[in-house]
Structure 1
Amino acid sequence: MSIDTPLEANIHSFDARGVARRFRHAAIFGALDALHPGETMRFFNDHNPLPLLAQLRDRFGDNLTFNYRQTHPDLTVIDISLVDSSKARDKHAHGDCCGSCG
């Protein structure tokens, strides 16, 4: 049995490639709604989901950050993290944009 480090315990994998395309966005939104501040969803997809990321920015605003871990023609891996909204506001107040506001 392995013991997760604190960082690994806060990362939850979501492989969209195994979800039927017509259900993907709903499943992704549901998974993100289940995250707690400080947790990350490691998102695996068969393409770069730019329209989805725009929808996520519209829905979650500064509460999400995106970190591309891998981009290849058949595989994109993105860490999508839920941050505490007060911390996100503090970053913007100090001129340190998180990069998710476009």
Structure 2
Amino acid sequence: MSDLPIFDNNVFPFDARGVAKRFRHAAIFGALESLQDGETMRFVNDHDPLPLLGQIQQRYGSQVQINYVAREPGNIVIDFAIRLGAEEPAAAPEASAPRAGGCGGGGGGCGCSGH
């Protein structure tokens, strides 16, 4: 868990370091989709998940605001804030295709550094 205190009842911690690598992206998307408007998921990880951030932006557009709280080697903390009143994301052509694996698909591996 992050050493950063959480003072807001609308901020929920998510420590990705404790989730098996093959389940991380599915768990993160599930957590994001369970949040309500105005709530924030405070994401903690050991590496900067740039491919994941791209997937989140593509999938949710401006409905998920991404704000780094900490960005140091081995300590990444990102707030994902839900803003449902924001513009709807554009439908991606692959949105209807089954999602296999992590970043980059098929092989079950993730393209994020540190995997």
The two structures share one fold, judged by TM-score above 0.5: yes
Aligned to 2:62: 62
Is 1:15 the equivalent of 2:15?
yes
Is 1:71 the equivalent of 2:80?
no
Identity fraction in percent: 54
Question: Which stretches in structure 2 are left out of the alignment for 5+ residues?
Answer: 1-6, 88-115
Q: Alpha-carbon deviation of 1:45? A: 0.5
Please give the residue correspondences for 1:45-60 in structure 2 after superposition, counting only pairs within 5 Å. 45-60=45-60
The one-letter amino acid of 2:16's match is A
Q: Alpha-carbon deviation of 1:62? A: 1.2
CA distance in 2, matches of 1:55, 1:84: 18
- Structure with the higher helix share, 1 or 2: 1
- TM superposition outliers: structure 1 runs of 4+ over 3 Å: none
Corresponding residue pairs, total? 81
SS of 2:8's partner is: helix
SS of 2:36's partner is: coil
SS of 1:38's partner is: coil
Aligned to 1:24: 24
Question: Which stretches in structure 1 are left out of the alignment for 5+ residues?
Answer: 1-6, 90-102
CA distance in 2, matches of 1:38, 1:18: 26
**Root-mean-square deviation (Å):** 1.0
CA distance in 2, matches of 1:33, 1:58: 14
The one-letter amino acid of 1:80's match is F
SS of 1:80's partner is: strand
